[in-house]
Amino acid sequence: MPKPFFDYSRILTQIAVEVRPLCDQGRVADYIPMLAAIPKSRFGIAVYTNAGKQYVVGDAEIAFSIQSISKVYGLTLALQAVGESLWERVGREPSGNAFNSLVQLEYEKGIPRNPFINAGALVVADIILSHYSNPKETLLAFVRARANNPYIQVDSAVAQSEKDTGFRNAALANFLKSFKNLDNEVSAVLDFYFYQCAIAMTCIDLAKSFRFLANAGICPWTNEAILTPSLTKRVNAIMLTSGTYDAAGDFVYRVGMPAKSGVGGGIVALIPNVLTTAVWSPGLNEKGNSLAGTMALELLTTKTRMSIF
Amino acid sequence: MPKPFFDYSRILTQIAVEVRPLCDQGRVADYIPMLAAIPKSRFGIAVYTNAGKQYVVGDAEIAFSIQSISKVYGLTLALQAVGESLWERVGREPSGNAFNSLVQLEYEKGIPRNPFINAGALVVADIILSHYSNPKETLLAFVRARANNPYIQVDSAVAQSEKDTGFRNAALANFLKSFKNLDNEVSAVLDFYFYQCAIAMTCIDLAKSFRFLANAGICPWTNEAILTPSLTKRVNAIMLTSGTYDAAGDFVYRVGMPAKSGVGGGIVALIPNVLTTAVWSPGLNEKGNSLAGTMALELLTTKTRMSIF
Amino acid sequence: MPKPFFDYSRILTQIAVEVRPLCDQGRVADYIPMLAAIPKSRFGIAVYTNAGKQYVVGDAEIAFSIQSISKVYGLTLALQAVGESLWERVGREPSGNAFNSLVQLEYEKGIPRNPFINAGALVVADIILSHYSNPKETLLAFVRARANNPYIQVDSAVAQSEKDTGFRNAALANFLKSFKNLDNEVSAVLDFYFYQCAIAMTCIDLAKSFRFLANAGICPWTNEAILTPSLTKRVNAIMLTSGTYDAAGDFVYRVGMPAKSGVGGGIVALIPNVLTTAVWSPGLNEKGNSLAGTMALELLTTKTRMSIF
Amino acid sequence: MPKPFFDYSRILTQIAVEVRPLCDQGRVADYIPMLAAIPKSRFGIAVYTNAGKQYVVGDAEIAFSIQSISKVYGLTLALQAVGESLWERVGREPSGNAFNSLVQLEYEKGIPRNPFINAGALVVADIILSHYSNPKETLLAFVRARANNPYIQVDSAVAQSEKDTGFRNAALANFLKSFKNLDNEVSAVLDFYFYQCAIAMTCIDLAKSFRFLANAGICPWTNEAILTPSLTKRVNAIMLTSGTYDAAGDFVYRVGMPAKSGVGGGIVALIPNVLTTAVWSPGLNEKGNSLAGTMALELLTTKTRMSIF
């Protein structure tokens, strides 16, 4: 794939202007007060090229709740711990249903369809609990190291609030336990899961933290091999087919990049060997992905003519 | 319907002989050790006629875990507390699926199909917790009064064991809570539910305790109107369509009596204005009803030519 | 059950007055023009007691399309032909879903839940085609003999119209064929099925034609044993648990009689050894049963205090 | 992406050797006799690079039934006719269920999840019937032109056999018609669909015929713009997320190429701007994709380190 010179600053600025009207149309997640309080008008985008350049526009330096984007970090840690044996306990097929559905889980006897639906992320959390002695510390240190930012925090009020209202996730965790697909206590798994979702990061942090996935598994700052090239490709494959809830097909169709979204309004996406990007706009579409964020990424691949296809 | 004189003793003895070979074929519930330990060879049956006669054969005086049969007591207490408004929170349609399925609950947005599937019984338990200041004491006193036996106990080891392993019920309760169809704490609802299931009773106790349902709502010992005649008919209607898990159609077809079964191997059934009966054999068929017990009740209606049809 | 003397004429007249306002509230089936054209104001009811008395009020002598009520005749003919072996190809559990759902059929590998959902009635039709040399003539002769009315006709315009628009039934039939649960050609099975649904009868016809089911299987006019007493009870059992689409639980709760409804607005119900009744009001409730008709039957059992419970 | 020089001949030969043991393990589709008769030992593979080189190994010149691979041609013709408005009648999300399931279709009210499940392909066929005056001739001419082979034929015995046994597809078509998502006669849609599936092609034909999809929409032989670059990317996106039945996630994970498989044992795959490839081995895995064929493609991307990630 050719890598022409783009004036990313100009392109990102254009995108911010074009998607601005969409920011008002989405619906901010309101199941916990902290998320509901975020103004819809926020919009930020950051791009990191593999050549080492950074481009940012808008609210790219405001931290927000990364929510499900954290599932990529969890998956990475679990793959580091157990490798491909992870697939004995989680599938890797797109879910074809709403992201927290119990139906398919029952149908498939407690094996979640993929690691990015909530059930799958709970199994991944269970694996992390079983293999790391200080799982929360390990996770936070991992995220800080990948983003090259030691100040990243977990918003404990968000974590607590999710715990207080997360009955559906508690149902999922108990259901998984009934199928013997959780080894640890339900409450411990949920505690870690809510902790993970409550990490607060900026677009800049997020785009930087995914760079190893666009770089054959190597973290650019530390030169560490976070994942093998093969596993790196596979995490990207799962993001592509399952990273954006029940809109993965539409997302691949329109955007054409592996990506992971969260209900906080963030989306991180990448083109292997070329760039990573993170966008944030709190208003969500009916599938739970950032409305303006999805459009921004579609415009990015359209304007640059870069996609994986 | 004519009420000819039957030699019930002879009929019950014949039945006990005829179903004996079936006792070995069922599968004893083994999800908690206390149930798994019960010998398959147990078989007891008791009949109480509305004329006041009692007939018993076999192990009718051995107490066993009544499990889901307790849902009838729960439903009665909840109807006493809130009357027909109960149906705003629970349906009364047969479930058409395995008895603890989450699928239908999701499809119907947190309204359980009927009060005898586990989800429905949890909502009933929630209502009881909201309306009685000492729910456990009230329940136990109610059961003792209906069975005219002050020595009935709850097997606390069974209750504890169910609590330790009841992840599927915990999933259901959290799921109901996520739909805002539980007012009390999940843990409190589960605690009461497991207490209720762990009541230990004999066939004699059970047959006696259901007599008000065959007697237009009047308890024969206390002369109390437990339910109005109208509500009594309606509880019987729900037992008929939903009392035997996903085998209700087959049960009505073969037996033709309103009935409630439990995984402990007990089944209580009745013909309004005629009799109540309770049977016990721990081996279950693939639908979770006592295998020999179902056949015993089919033989009872066949031999006496009594059924509601 | 006591059989006191009731002034049925007065009771039926009262009922007609009381349900009148409901006639306007239902929704007339409109999937074929012939049904859509029926005025909502029609209301008729007929009662036949086992003592041989007939009571009629309102439009009880106007013929209407019996639709799914015909499934009871089909089931009777199939049971005459193959007896209990019918249950190898059709279940007898309530369906727990909308009456023409394909989901459960797929889940249960081509065995319809019961003979009164459309899929089940198609299998029953297939059995009739395989066992009677002139199935349509046999069916019509059977219905005429049971109703003691040689003038009953099939509305061929209705049958043709259903054939032209019955894509969902064609889907079901092909689906059953794919599971090898139809022996005859799909088109032949559908042709017979649409013929059966298009029979036109009055409330009087219907109430008379079901009398053998309230009379231990004996047709009162011909003294023929149409079904054995045992099979008669079983047909009643299936009507009770599955005769009114996905409202069977509610219907049993409110009405307490075995019954079969049709989208033409008719419902036939009975109390074994006591009476049969047919009611007609074209406006349907959201479950597809006659709205005023269901209420009329509820009032009948309430006012006479007769029900099977 | 770098395009190093590969010794494709050597690589394909190695692959043929490595996957040989798998050829015996799959299960040949046996729902029609013509497919069941194909020997399992067949294995062929062809690669066409965008640089214009062709590499073939094994049975790459034997024609076989392309079956569902034809859905890509159908989709292309329909997009030529109606463009993006096609998505009003078909979705583009992975199905998450077995490829011919009716459940999801009911749940989504007659809008198939994507154009590559059978229901979606039937809607695509309906669009083609509505927009081309000689649809079969148009399709065959299109395929011949894309493969640059005027001798490609439809196996009419296969088409007839599918028509005789295709009850499940007939169920789907009638079901779609009941939701008004077919404009033409059910029988006409099925006739075209079975015709399309019965096209017989070789690996060489297939690899050549997909070259426009690896070439920004331009057919290399005719220089025609078959699709715009944008629509070309989108067809590739849909192949990636939905081209291999319910194994798309696993296929993307292991192979990482947009692809379309058929129950005849063929799979066509491509890397945009780099190559197309077609592989054939009749033995299928449990998801309905060629067992040895999938492994061959996995080895190809592994050995060449080329994938879209």
Digit-coded pLDDT (tens) for D9-49: 999 999 999 999 999 999 999 888 888 999 999 999 999 99
Distance (Å, rounded) from C-alpha C143 to C-alpha C150? Answer: 9
DSSP three-state, residue A290: strand
Whether D96 sits inside 8 A of A114 (CB atoms) is: no
Q: How far is B153 from chain C (nearest CA, A)?
A: 31
CA dihedral sign, ordered D38, D39, D40, D44: negative
* Closest alpha carbon to D48 in D148, D129, D139: D148
Rounded to whole angstroms, how far apart are CA atoms A193 and A197? 6
Pairing assessment for the beta strands D27-28 and D44-49 based on DSSP bridges:
unpaired
Question: Measured between beta carbons, which residues in chain A are less than 8 angstroms from residue D91?
Answer: 249
Contact D237 A248 (CB under 8 A): no
- CB count, 10 Å around CB of B84? 10
Which residues in B lie closer than 8 A to residue C307 (C-beta atoms)?
233
For the question of residue B73 being annotated catalytic, the response is: no
* Span D255-284, average pLDDT: 97
Facing residue for B249 by CB, picked from C93, C246, C307: C93
pLDDT tens-place string over residues D88-123: 999 999 886 654 467 778 778 899 999 999 999 999
Residue D240 clears pLDDT 70, i.e. is over it: yes
- Distance from the Cα of C273 to chain B's closest Cα (Å) equals 8
Q: Is the pLDDT score of D188 beyond 60?
A: yes
Nearest alpha-carbon partner for C287 in D107, B93, B111:
B93
* Residue A111 with chain D: CB contacts under 8 Å: none
**Neighbouring-strand partners of residue B268:** B260, B278
Which residues in A lie closer than 8 A to residue D104 (C-beta atoms)?
96
pLDDT in the model for residue C99: 43
**Chain A neighbors of B112, CB-CB under 8 A:** none
Q: Is a pLDDT exceeding 60 seen at residue B18?
A: yes
State the Cα–Cα distance between residues D272 and D254, nearest whole angstrom: 18
* pLDDT > 70 in chain D, percent: 96
Task: Mark whether D41 is an active-site residue.
Answer: no
Catalytically annotated residues of C = 68, 71, 193, 245, 263
Check: CB of residue B25 under 8 Å from CB of residue B40: no
Question: Residue A56: which of A283, A280, A307 has the closest Cα?
Answer: A280
Cβ pair C238, C213 in contact under 8 A:
no
Cα(C59)–Cα(C205) distance, integer angstroms: 12
Q: What is the pLDDT of residues C48-88, one digit of tens each?
A: 999 999 999 999 999 999 999 999 999 999 999 999 999 99
Question: Following CA atoms A179, A185, A187, A188 in sequence, which dihedral angle do they give, to the nearest 10 degrees?
Answer: -120
User: Would you state the pLDDT for residue A1?
Assistant: 46
> CA A249 to CA D93: how far, in whole Å?
4
What is the per-residue pLDDT across A283-306, written as a single tens digit (0 to 9) for each? 999 999 999 999 999 999 999 988
pLDDT above 90 as % of chain D: 86
- What is the nearest CA distance from B236 to chain C, expressed in angstroms? 7
Report how far residue C161's alpha carbon sits from residue D26's, in angstroms, rounded to the nearest whole number. Answer: 47
On the question of pLDDT at D5 being above 80, the answer is no
Tell me which residue in D101, D173, D174 faces C106 most closely, judged by beta carbons.
D101
**Looking at residue D99, what is its pLDDT?**
43
Tokens representing residue B73 in the block: 């007591």
Going from the C-alpha of C75 to that of each of A132, C70, C128, C153, C263, the distances in angstroms are 64, 9, 9, 20, 18
**How confident is the model over D241-269, as a mean pLDDT?**
95
CB contact under 8 A, B97 and C96: yes
φ and ψ at residue C60, rounded to 5 degrees: -80, -5
pLDDT at B31: 84
Concatenated DSSP letters for A83-143?
Answer: GGGGGGTS--S---S-TT-SHHHHHTTT--S-TTSHHHHHHHHHHHHHH-SSHHHHHHHHH
Question: For residues A225 and A217, is the Cβ–Cβ distance under 8 A?
Answer: yes
Contact between B281 and B19 under an 8 Å Cβ cutoff? The reply is: yes
The answer to whether residues C68 and C196 touch, using CB atoms and an 8 Å cutoff, is no
Asked whether the CA dihedral A86, A87, A91, A94 is positive or negative, the reply is positive
Active site annotation includes D255: no
- Give the residue from C105, C69, C119, C35 showing the smallest Cα distance to C276: C69
pLDDT surpasses 80 at A96: no
β-sheet bridge partners, residue D284: D27, D290
Residue C232 corresponds to which tokens in the numbers above?
Answer: 């008669």
Distance from CA of C137 to the nearest CA of B (A): 30
Chain A: touching chains (3 or more CB pairs < 8 Å): B, D
Q: Is 50 exceeded by the pLDDT of residue B27?
A: yes
Bridge partners, residue D57, by sequence:
D45
Residues of chain C whose C-beta is under 8 A from some C-beta in D? 101-103, 106-107, 167-168, 170-175, 177-178, 186
CB contact set of D183 (below 8 Å; sequence gap of 6+): D126, D129, D130
Element (H, E) at D174: helix D167-178
pLDDT at A101 over 80: no
**CB contact at 8 A, C202 and C268:** no
- Judged against a pLDDT cut of 70, whether residue D1 lies above it is answered with no
Report the C-alpha gap between A172 and A191 in whole angstroms: 14
Identify the contact set of chain A against chain B, taking CB-CB distances under 8 A.
101-103, 106, 167-168, 170-175, 177-178, 186
Look up B133 and say whether it is catalytic.
no
Minimum CA–CA partner of D232 in chain A: A309
Contact call for D309 and A237, based on CB within 8 A:
yes
Of B101, B103, B171, the CB nearest to A171: B171
- Helix/strand/coil (H/E/C) assignment for every residue in C110-129: CCCCCCCCHHHHHHHHHHHH
Asked if B1's CB is within 8 angstroms of C249's CB, the reply is: no
Going B246 to B248 to B250 to B251, the CA torsion angle's sign is: positive
pLDDT single digits (tens) B223-278 = 999 999 999 999 999 999 999 988 999 999 999 999 999 999 999 999 999 999 99
For residue A167, give the H/E element and its range: helix A167-178
ipTM: 0.91
Q: What is the mean pLDDT of residues A181-194?
A: 98
In this predicted structure, what is the pLDDT of residue A6?
A: 79
The answer to whether the CB atoms of D249 and A236 lie below 8 A apart is no
Q: What is the mean pLDDT of the segment spanning D41-62?
A: 96
**pLDDT for B99 beyond 50:** no
Instruction: Give the residue numbers in B contacting A (CB under 8 Å), as ranges.
Output: 101-103, 106, 167-168, 170-175, 177-178, 186
Return the SS3 of D110. Answer: coil
Is the pLDDT at C4 greater than 60? The verdict is no
The phi-psi region of residue C76 (left if phi > 0; otherwise alpha if psi is between -120 and 50; otherwise beta) is: alpha
Question: What's the mean per-residue pLDDT of chain A?
Answer: 94
Q: Which of the two residues, D224 and A2, has the higher pLDDT score?
A: D224
Q: Of D48, D65, D70, D71, which residue is the catalytic one?
A: D71
Amino acid A179: pLDDT: 95
Nearest to A209 by CA among A36, A77, A14: A77
Phi-psi label, residue A28: left if phi above 0, alpha if psi -120 to 50, beta otherwise: beta
pLDDT number for residue C306: 87
Buried b (16+ CB within 10 A) or exposed e, A85-105: ebbebbbbbbbbbebbbbbbb
CB-CB neighbors (< 8 A) of A170 in chain B: 170-171, 174, 177, 186
Task: Please say whether the dihedral angle defined by the alpha carbons of residues B299, B303, B309 and C4, taken in this order, is positive or negative.
Answer: negative
Q: What's the confidence (pLDDT) of residue B1?
A: 46
C253–B273 CB contact, under 8 Å = no
Cα B8 to the chain's mean position, in Å?
23
> Is the Cβ pair D92, A249 closer than 8 Å?
yes
Q: State pLDDT tens for residues A104-157.
A: 787 788 999 999 999 999 999 999 999 999 999 999 999 999 999 999 999 999
Closest of B101, B171, B184, B110 to residue A167, by C-alpha: B171
Residues 6 or more apart whose CB falls under 8 angstroms from that of A157 comprise A34
pLDDT tier for residue C307 given thresholds of 50, 70 and 90 = confident
Two structure tokens written together for C105: 């059929």
Q: Are B113 and C95 an interchain contact pair (Cβ–Cβ within 8 Å)?
A: no
Size of interface A-D (CB pairs under 8 A): 100
3-state secondary structure of D225: strand
Q: Chains A and B: how many Cβ contacts under 8 Å? A: 51
Summarize chain B as % helix, strand, coil (round to 5): 50, 15, 35
8 Å CB contact between A305 and A245 = no
**Of the ranges A28-37, A83-92, D188-197, which one carries the lowest mean pLDDT score?**
A28-37
Instruction: Return the percentage of chain B with pLDDT > 90, whole number.
Output: 87
Average pLDDT for A37-45:
95
Torsion sign across C-alpha atoms A69, A72, A73, A74: positive
Q: Is A109 exposed, middle or buried (0-12, 13-18, 19+ CB in 10 A)?
A: exposed
With an 8 Å Cβ cutoff, are A253 and D92 in contact?
yes
Min Cα distance D90 → chain C (Å) is 19
pLDDT tens-digit series, residues D141-172: 999 999 999 999 999 999 999 988 899 999 99
- Rounded-to-integer distance, Cα D100 and Cα D168, Å: 8
Question: Quick one: pLDDT at residue B14?
Answer: 97
* CA angle, residues C164, C167, C168, in degrees to nearest 5: 140
User: Residue A98 — very low, low, confident or very high, per pLDDT cuts 50/70/90?
Assistant: low
Q: Which residues of D touch C167 (CB under 8 A)?
A: 174-175, 177-178, 186
Record the tokens describing residue B13, joined without a space.
């003895």
pLDDT tens-digit readout, C214-230: 999 999 999 999 999 99
Among B260, B81, B102, B99, smallest CA distance to B183 is for B81
Chain A partners within 8 Å of D232 (Cβ): 309
Cite the beta strand spans of chain C per DSSP E: 27-28, 44-49, 54-58, 64-65, 153-154, 199-201, 259-261, 266-271, 275-280, 283-284
Q: Which long-range contacts (CB under 8 A, 24 or more apart) does D14-17 make?
A: D14/D299, D14/D303, D15/D45, D15/D57, D15/D296, D15/D299, D15/D300, D15/D303, D16/D43, D16/D45, D16/D57, D16/D58, D16/D296
What confidence score (pLDDT) does residue B97 get? 61
Test the D interface: residue of A235, A253, A302 with most D CBs within 10 Å: A253
Q: Is A279:A266 a contact under the CB 8 Å cutoff?
A: yes
> Between chains, do D249 and A92 touch, taking CB under 8 Å as contact?
yes
Q: Are B178 and A186 inside 8 Å of each other by CB?
A: no
Please give the order of strands across the beta sheet that includes D153-154. D64-65, D199-201, D153-154
Residue of B167, B175, B186 with shortest CB distance to A102: B175
Between A93, A236, A256, which is nearest D248 by CB?
A: A93
State whether D249 and A96 contact (CB < 8 Å).
no
Locate tokens 């034809």: which residue? D70
Res. C2: pLDDT tops 90: no
pLDDT digit string, tens, across residues A232-268: 999 999 999 999 988 999 999 999 999 999 999 999 9
Query: Which residues lie closer than 8 Å to A7 by C-beta, 6 or more apart?
Result: none
| DSSP letter (8 states) at residue C53 | -
**Catalytic residue from among B71, B163, B208, B260:** B71
pLDDT mean over B197-219 = 98
Tens-digit pLDDT profile for residues D66-89: 999 999 999 999 999 999 999 999
For chain C, the chains sharing at least 3 beta-carbon pairs closer than 8 angstroms are B, D
Whether residue B194 is predicted with pLDDT greater than 80 in this model: the reply is yes
Q: Is the pLDDT of residue D2 over 60?
A: no
Residue of C nearest to B230 (CA): C302
**Nearest CA to A136 among A154, A117, A123, A158?**
A154
